Homo-oligomer: A and B are copies of this chain.
Amino acid sequence: MSKRTSLKDIAKELNISVSTVSRALRNVGEVSEETRRKVKELAESWKYKPDPLALGLLKNKTGYIGVILPDPVNHYFSTVLHGMNIVAQENGYHLLISYSYDQSVNEQKAIDDFVWARAEGLMICPAIDTIDIRKYQQIGGNGIPLVFVERDIPEMDVPAVITDNYKSMQSLMEFLIGCGYRRIALITNLEYYSVGRICYQAYTDVLKKKRIALRKELIIHGNMSISTSVEAARHLLQLTPIPDAVVVTDDCSAMAVMKVFQEEGLSVPDDIAVTGFNDEPFTSYISPPLTTVSRPGYLMGMKAMELLIETIKKSKSTTDCEKIILESDLVIRNSTIRSPERWTR
């Protein structure tokens, strides 16, 4: 069990004071060349490194950034984390990661822990069931910079990096309608701070604009798990007539929904079209390839982390709160491209 070398060890060995050693190592203050050289040599050979805990205690800085994401097992969030990690690493920060599993209580606990552990900044993707936003205010109250990522809370004066889901959904809906689809179903989560909520908004807005009746029975609220989506798909098949397209706000669920239809002997997209969200890698490999919205998760993570670190470094007050909205791309694939003759039926 090799002991860590401390300033004191070096000082003792060289018969000088701890303060001199400290100054010598940091190249500050007045230290004779001779002493400085000797100190540095010894420090080098003893592999001295300052103790982060002691430094943290003293300076109130830890080099940690607390990250709270909803779910570890989600490709899209993984790309976001990847982006955050790259930037954090470049800037010498370490990531403290916690997962809320989309439950506010877990998030609250993680926030408390991170604040208490003196994280220098917090990056949060708010849990989907968030209603009480005081927990976020408390963070600012403690003087810790906060940035929202992927999900914004507009009424809060907190910087955020998100993607333009409203616009994406709008494009998607307009595209589908342009194709000729009219009975368009929606499977989505509707929680207030979710992607799905915004998609729902765009969905209704576009229908209204295009003067297509909004049918309640075509809108299904789910939690975007495979099982509830499968159930939702089965439900849609009970309707007469069945929808001619189904918009699902998650690729995995869309894939599962598509499979339900195919197992029932329907052709996608000739009998019923399906779309997803996120453009996960598999979407171009399934059959038929999935029309979806490609979102820049990696870039979002990077931008958000840059914003957070910038805020930390300037120790800016949260007053100037930038909301960065990244563009997404509509990716059109065969799951919506119906053969012309099938439009006649």
Residues of A in contact with B (beta carbons under 8 Å apart) = 1-2, 4, 49, 51-54, 56-57, 62, 64, 72-75, 78-79, 81-82, 85, 89, 94-99, 113, 116-118, 141-143, 226, 252, 255-256, 258-259, 280-282, 285-287
Contacts and interface: CB of A to CB of B under 8 A. Distances in A.
Contacts of A56: 53
Which of A54, A97, A113, A143 has the most B CB atoms < 10 Å from its CB? A97
Contacts of A117: 52-53, 94
A286 B118 CA distance: 46
Cβ-closest 5 pairs across A and B: A287-B287, A282-B282, A1-B143, A72-B82, A73-B78
A332 B258 CA distance: 22
Contacts of A255: 282, 285
A258 B78 CA distance: 25
Given A53-B57, A72-B82, A78-B78, 15 more contacts: A1-B142, A4-B116, A52-B116, A52-B118, A73-B75, A73-B82, A74-B78, A82-B99, A85-B98, A94-B98, A95-B96, A96-B96, A97-B97, A255-B282, A287-B287
Nearest to A116: B49
